[in-house]
Amino acid sequence: MFVSGAVLDERVDPSLSRIELDDDDGKVARADAFNTKALRLALSQHVNEHLGARLQAVRDENFQQIKKHILTVQPEYKALLVHRSEKLKRLEYPDDPKRFDEVLYRGQQVWEVEIRQRQAEVAVKLDDEKADIEGVAEELSQVIEQVNEAGKSNLVRYVAKRHSVLGFLMTLLSKGALEAHVHRIVFPMRRTSDDVAYEDHNLWLLDDTLAFYESVASDVALAKMPNVSIDSEQRPDSLAFKTGEPPYHHIALVEFKRPERKDENPVQQLVDYALLLRYGRAKAADGTSLPGIPTSVRIDGFAVVSLTPELEMKMIAGPGNMQRVGADWRWYGMHTPANLTIEVLDYKAFVTRAEQRNRAFFTKLGLR
């Protein structure tokens, strides 16, 4: 498209290579002068007159791509379709999903900041004795509605993350992953809950309640754990405490075994750890034995293994009165003296049960 006219002819320089127009900066532009801002405005009006319908069709198609992406791939951003639709319409749908995720995430953050600002503004109005109660109540209702929607968006994001983690885990196991690979996905090794954020571990893969244990240590020597009095360098794969300090509500032990490993009985290992927790080996400064965790506190033990015939024979002969649970690829038992419940899951059951617990959420969001 070309633009011509007498105004431009008058302002062309002698070399015919540049149009001399005033800058559109208010400090520089002369009153009533034709400047670059006026040129851009005139050009945009001209383009809209001649190409408006075609450009609108392109913009509509672009927005439909954005909308389809959000509804089918990243439903955690659905609220933006309602509260930031005009902003979204100005975006160009990119070929790079990662870059688009960053754009959507920033948009979500800006929206949530604005909600918090509105909350603060309404709170100030509520403290004003002269405030219009009816008007403030209506404004408060609108803010609460957006707070609820933002909360739903964060919940959807969390569920979408679970879906991604499960998909990655299934792919990893199909390629012959080692137990260390699975361990790191569930909880980073040689780390504790002091330096791993709640959203950065995946203990929910084993049991949803484990996601809410306040104190977790992964592959850390028992002697180095402040929660217990044990003089031992043994390192459970994961040891979690419900409440970070005594009196504990529950304790969980988790062990991962290399797929197809046959030389160890994970049940015996869980029992040994439980007995260490109960009776310990640590001494006080005066040489007296420190008490262990009382048997009134239940310990839940989990082992993720390959259920080979050899391993199943060892579990039958070992402690815990282990019983196979139907055709679920898992065993369950109880070591009464240690008040220890034991669940041994094959890797198949480990993944399948996690998927089953979350299936309703995945289906609701269209994540299948």
Q: Quick check: 267 and 318 in contact, CB under 8 A? A: yes
Q: Tell me the pLDDT band of 342, cut-offs 50, 70 and 90.
A: very high
Q: How far apart (Å, rounded) are the C-alpha atoms in residues 34 and 36? A: 7
Of the ranges 85-94, 123-132, 213-222, which one carries the lowest mean pLDDT score? 123-132
For the chain, the distance separating the N- and C-terminal CA atoms, rounded to the nearest angstrom, is 47
Lowest pLDDT segment from 9-23, 74-88, 227-241, 243-257: 9-23
**Could you identify the residue written with the tokens 């019983």?**
323
Residue 25 pLDDT greater than 60, yes or no = no
Integer Cα distance of 263 and 271 in angstroms: 17
297 confidence band (pLDDT: 50, 70, 90): very high
Share the mean pLDDT of the chain.
82
Which pLDDT score, from 0 to 100, does residue 27 have? Answer: 45
Window from 180-184, 278-282, 316-320, 333-337 with minimum mean pLDDT: 278-282
Indicate the pLDDT class of residue 32, thresholds 50, 70 and 90.
low
User: Per-residue confidence at 23, pLDDT binned at 50, 70, 90?
Assistant: low
Q: How confident is the model at residue 45 (pLDDT cuts 50, 70, 90)?
A: confident
**Per-residue H/E/C for the chain:** CCCCCHHHHHCECCCCCCECCECCCCCCCCCCCCEHHHHHHHHHHHHHHHHHHHHHHHHHHHHHHHHHHHHHCCHHHHHHHHHCHHHHHCCCCCCCHHHHHHHHHHHHHHHHHHHHHHHHHHHHHHHCCCCCHHHHHHHHHHHHHHHHHHHHHHHHHHHHHHHHHHHHHHHHHHCCCCHHHHHHHHCCCCEECCCCCHHHCCHHHCCHHHHHCCEEEECCCHHHCCCCCCCCCCCCCEEEECCCCCCCCEEEEEEECCCCCCCCCHHHHHHHHHHHHHHCCCECCCCCECCCCCCCCEEEEEEEECCCHHHHHHHHHCCCCCEECCCCCEEEEEEHHHCEEEEEEEHHHHHHHHHHHHHHHHHHHCCC
Is pLDDT at 28 greater than 50 in this prediction? no
| Mean pLDDT, rounded, for 34-43 | 70
pLDDT at residue 8 is higher than 70: no
Model pLDDT, residue 332: 96
- 86-106: pLDDT as tens digits: 888 888 887 777 788 888 888
Does residue 2 or residue 239 have the better pLDDT?
239
User: How many Cα atoms within 13 Å fall on the side-chain side of residue 175?
Assistant: 8
Nearest to 228 by CA among 274, 269, 194, 296: 274
For the ranges 70-74, 85-89, 97-101, 364-368, the lowest mean pLDDT is seen at 364-368
Q: How confident is the model over 134-169, as pLDDT tens digits? A: 777 777 777 777 777 777 777 777 888 888 899 988
